[in-house]
Chains A and B, each alone.
Chain A
Amino acid sequence: MTEHVVVIYPHPDDEAFGASGTITTFREKGIPVTYLCGTLGEMGRNMGNPTFATRETLPEIRKKELIKACEVLDINLEMLGYRDKTLEFESTEEVAAHLFSYLEKIKPSLVITHYPGHAVHPDHDAFGAAAIKAVEKLPENERPTVWAQAISRNHLEDVGEPDIQNDVSEVFTKKFETIQAHKSQADGMLSKVRNEADDIVEATKQWLGVESFYTWKF
């Protein structure tokens, strides 16, 4: 099977905070990566700090940030056109069929997504569930490996230690650059770190320097 990684997350910046180090190590090996981004993060609360976005301008701003982040990571981008905060109210079957149409074409060797039920944001849970359903539509011998990311408080108790723990400190500069491409969101999310630490890159590395995933068991 030709190697190709497909990342399935709902929001512009999920890839940056969650998997951009892992993505970078794949790209350094020359493995193509495609990001299927579900929404434009239209409902984000962060409007920049000081605010520079409004509810109406945020989608276009985040779209530009997403495109820039994918340029930083040197990955392909597909924007799937759902609306932020509504994915769980869509038909899971329809979303899975939509995702499947990409998987059928790309034939990935690995899919990275959220761990349904342990991904905190309702869009994460819903899109992760749809992604796994989409992979299940493939015949067993053609299914890619799936790495599911859990971020809930209780995931360690419930599902144990993640078997994939990528230390991404070697490529952290790239991860930080990807996060910063999402300026409207990074302003707010990094402000706490900025207030408390002298070296913001080092402090962010402490926070986001390991990317963990569970290999999904079908």
Chain B
Amino acid sequence: MEPIEINQLQNHIDKLANKEVYVHLETTNGAYASHFNQDAYNVGAFIRNAQVTYQRGKVVGTGTTYRVGLKLDIGWIYAEGVNQYEVEDQNKLLMAGHDREGRLMVALQISETPFQY
């Protein structure tokens, strides 16, 4: 994955607007968060292959970390803390935020075909 270049990422998000797409959204601090730090909480959310159509998608942010929001006819999807992206197999837009140790903290992925696994 590459650090986000906001104009390029916006172009990729625009290309997938107003189409039936599959969305992967997750955020996690890991299954061991409260094991390693008793003051921490284990939290996470995960959805894979939600089928949606968004009328507008927008990436916002400055410097190193970004927010991406997708406006649906009847709702919203957003991810915060995204800092890298990659286009896989031409039609899969992968966005993710990693911490200093390279661990994934948040991911938002949009594809015209379902994600595997």
| Residue of B31, B35, B38 with highest tally of chain A CB at under 10 A | B31
Asked if A50 contacts B31 (CB within 8 A), the reply is: no
A55 — nearest CB in chain B belongs to which residue?
B107
Contact with B along A175-200 (1 / 0, CB 8 A): 00000000000011001000000000
Asked if A153 contacts B35 (CB within 8 A), the reply is: yes
Segment of B11-19, B66-74, B93-101 in the binding face: B93-101
- State the CA gap A122–B46 with chains docked (Å): 15
From A48, A120, A121, give the contact of B102 (CB < 8 A): A48
Please count the residue pairs between chain A and chain B whose beta carbons lie under 8 angstroms apart in the complex.
65
Asked if A121 contacts B117 (CB within 8 A), the reply is: no
Q: What is the distance, in angstroms, from B47's C-beta to the closest C-beta of chain A?
A: 13
Q: What is the interface size of chain B, counting residues whose CB is below 8 A from a CB of the partner?
A: 27
Instruction: Check B86 for interface membership: any CB of A closer than 8 A.
Output: yes
Q: How large is the interface on A (under 10, 10 to 19, 20 to 34, 35 or more residues)?
A: 20 to 34
- Chain B interface, DSSP helix/strand/loop, else mixed: strand
A86 — nearest CB in chain B belongs to which residue?
B46
When distances are taken between beta carbons in the complex, the residues of chain A under 8 Å from B35 are: 120, 151-153
Asked if A55 contacts B103 (CB within 8 A), the reply is: no
Asked if A121 contacts B31 (CB within 8 A), the reply is: yes
Instruction: Please list the 6 inter-chain residue pairs (A to B) with the smallest Cβ-Cβ separation, ordered nearest first.
Output: A49-B102, A45-B103, A51-B102, A121-B31, A120-B35, A45-B104
